[in-house]
Structure 1
Amino acid sequence: MAIKAHMDSLNRRHQELETAISSEVKSPGYNDLRLVELKRQKLKIKDQLEELRVQSKNIN
């Protein structure tokens, strides 16, 4: 159950980052460095989610 809760939390954070990226791109004169950092964080979360999915499959 702890894995599911952690995955839910990561999914929420992933969506928040997607929203932040979208907002950043739409703003005039957006900051390239901020955009790269947001995308890096989003990718890191995606990797964590995949790792948890694999662990979850191995448990069941």
Structure 2
Amino acid sequence: MSMQAHVAELERRHEALDKALREETARPASDEVRVNDLKRRKLYLKDEIARLKGTLH
């Protein structure tokens, strides 16, 4: 898998986590543990994407 394809896959997963986070927080009784887990995973992917994009340039 090329580096660009890997970054694209990470971006896709980041968007999926963003969607899941929006859905969870829209629920009347959202699960704070799940919300925090989704946020943590999303931030990890964001950092990884930024790091990899930095190596592409």
Structure 2 counterparts to residues 9-28 of structure 1, below 5 A: 9-28=9-28
Amino acid at match of 1:18: D
Structure 2 counterparts to residues 8-47 of structure 1, below 5 A: 8-47=8-47
Runs of 4+ in 1 over 4 A off after TM superposition: none
C-alpha separation in 1, matches of 2:8 and 2:54: 15
Q: Tell me the percent identity.
A: 35
Amino acid at match of 2:49: L
TM-score normalized with structure 2 length: 0.96
Secondary structure of the equivalent of 2:11? helix
Shift of the alpha carbon at 1:11? 0.5
**Unaligned stretches of 5+ residues in structure 1:** none
TM-score normalized with structure 1 length: 0.91
Aligned residues: 57
